[in-house]
Structure 1
Amino acid sequence: MNAAVFRPDDDRIADAVALLDDLGAVPVPDPMLAVDPTGAIPRGDGAVVVVTSKTGVELAADSGWTPGGGRLAAIGPATADACREAGWTVDVVPEEYTSAGLVAALDGDIDGARVEVARSDHGSAVLTDGLAEAGAYVHETVLYALTRPAGAGDSTEIAAAGDLDAALFTSSLTVEHWLAAARER
């Protein structure tokens, strides 16, 4: 079975390829996301700091930034693990690993509080709008942009030829990028 995988061209695609190999599939690596750091650094005065990805944590930590004295909220366990690896204490991980789940986990605790949200340029308004509706003063720092790498889309040609058995999408943005690559080719 040929299976296309669209992770960024780093350890994430290498891990996905290794897993597909272990499962007996033929990996078709076709990175549909590139991480382009903005160089921005989150503010340090938040009563609550929200991080939404392992990548964001790594970029913030590499810049020397720390969450300071505020409570730290991570959108899910992988992000929380990255926080802990950076030496940060995680105070909140929602039961539902989504923007809405994070808002629900913080609702009732943030009225009048400054909340710093550190994430990608493709973050959902559900998070920032929901925090604001819960009474928080929200500041967002865009740590990185998610772009489509030049040359991405080899798997679209394999699919068009009828030789692709599976496509493993990890986000709506990878779907959008794959479809754009298919249209261009």
Structure 2
Amino acid sequence: MPSLAGRRILVTRAIESAGNLSESLRALGAEPVEVPLLGFSLPEDPSYLLECLRRLRSYDWLIFTSATAVRMFFHAAQLHRISLTDIPGRIAAVGPATARQVVNEGWKVDFIPEKYVAENLVAGFPEEVKGKRLLLARSALARDVIPSAFRAAGAVVDAPEAYRNVLPENAPEALKQALAKPLNAATFTSSSSVTHLAEAANKANIPFPLAGVPAISIGPITTQTLQENNWPPAAEAHPHDIPGLVAAVEHVLTRT
């Protein structure tokens, strides 16, 4: 019998990125319950982002911290008819999923940190950045860890908002439907998925945290957000990626 047979697992990723996690859970016999809590839109004022896109060749490094940042970066360029045929000097991605999205867009990645968190991207950067020009495409909610550290090391950093996280309108109703039957675990792949679940629960008049449902976190920042919301995770993924998250779910739900 598959290790997660019959287990209902809440998947909170954006609808366009939920498939990989859901497929992996389904392969172990689980029933992934998808409640997309993350929608994305371009910034209300994209002028800074567009300015950076137009002078892309001036940067020594382009840095992406999520696959969504990659998608929205290219979407903004396409929407405003800005050619991205001029690839910047080198490209860094915070993890393999982000790197795959870069490759899907036709570019190559020059650096991925050993551990897939922002602090390790900075600490393990492959060259001295003093005097270098860096472009960091990021979420409106992103922490300042990366730009602050690189500026402290002497780099010139542009860090435009590439996208905003928004709660999909149907999220509260989708959450109600998901809770019509008991859940065995809830997975979280970002801090925003935690805060958006809290927002959706509030709008749907559902107590939060979800009582009796173990939370599984993809990494330390998401774990911190869960703890701040009084829902300490039952496990954290190691490594901090989708296979690690699936392994953590399996560990929590099959341990004796």
TM-score under structure 1 normalisation?
0.85
Alpha-carbon distance in 2 for matches of 1:127, 1:23: 36
SS at match of 2:195: helix
Match of 1:174 in 2: 193
- Residue of 100, 110, 130 corresponding to 1:91: 110
Alpha-carbon distance in 1 for matches of 2:86, 2:165: 23
Q: Note the 1:71-90 alignment, pairs <5 A.
A: 71-90=90-109
Contact kept? 2:136, 2:157, Cα under 8 Å: yes
> Aligned-pair distance for 1:182?
1.7
Task: Say which is worse superposed, 48-57 or 136-145, in terms of deviation.
Answer: 48-57
Contiguous gaps of at least 5 residues in structure 2: 1-6, 78-82, 206-256
What is the number of equivalent residue pairs in this alignment?
183
> Aligned-pair distance for 1:58?
2.7
When residues 138 and 123 of structure 1 are mapped into structure 2, their CA distance, relative to the original with a 3 A threshold, is same
Alpha-carbon distance in 2 for matches of 1:82, 1:14: 14
- Residue of 6, 13, 16 corresponding to 2:18: 13
Contiguous gaps of at least 5 residues in structure 1: none
Match of 2:68 in 1: 55
Q: Note the 1:96-115 alignment, pairs <5 A.
A: 96-106=115-125, 109-115=128-134
Q: Are positions 1:70 and 2:89 aligned together?
A: yes
Which amino acid letter does the alignment assign opposite residue 127 of structure 1?
Answer: I
> Aligned-pair distance for 1:139?
0.5
Alpha-carbon distance in 1 for matches of 2:142, 2:101: 18
> Aligned-pair distance for 1:152?
0.9
SS at match of 1:7: coil
Contact kept? 1:156, 1:181, Cα under 8 Å: no
Alpha-carbon distance in 2 for matches of 1:179, 1:97: 25
Match of 1:23 in 2: 28
> Aligned-pair distance for 1:4?
1.0
Which amino acid letter does the alignment assign opposite residue 118 of structure 2?
Answer: S
Task: Say which is worse superposed, 75-84 or 173-182, in terms of deviation.
Answer: 75-84
Alpha-carbon distance in 1 for matches of 2:123, 2:32: 38
SS at match of 1:118: strand
Alpha-carbon distance in 2 for matches of 1:29, 1:119: 25
When residues 74 and 66 of structure 1 are mapped into structure 2, their CA distance, relative to the original with a 3 A threshold, is farther
Alpha-carbon distance in 2 for matches of 1:67, 1:57: 16
Which amino acid letter does the alignment assign opposite residue 68 of structure 2?
Answer: T
Which amino acid letter does the alignment assign opposite residue 103 of structure 1?
Answer: V
TM-score under structure 2 normalisation?
0.63
SS at match of 1:106: coil
- Residue of 167, 179, 189 corresponding to 1:148: 167
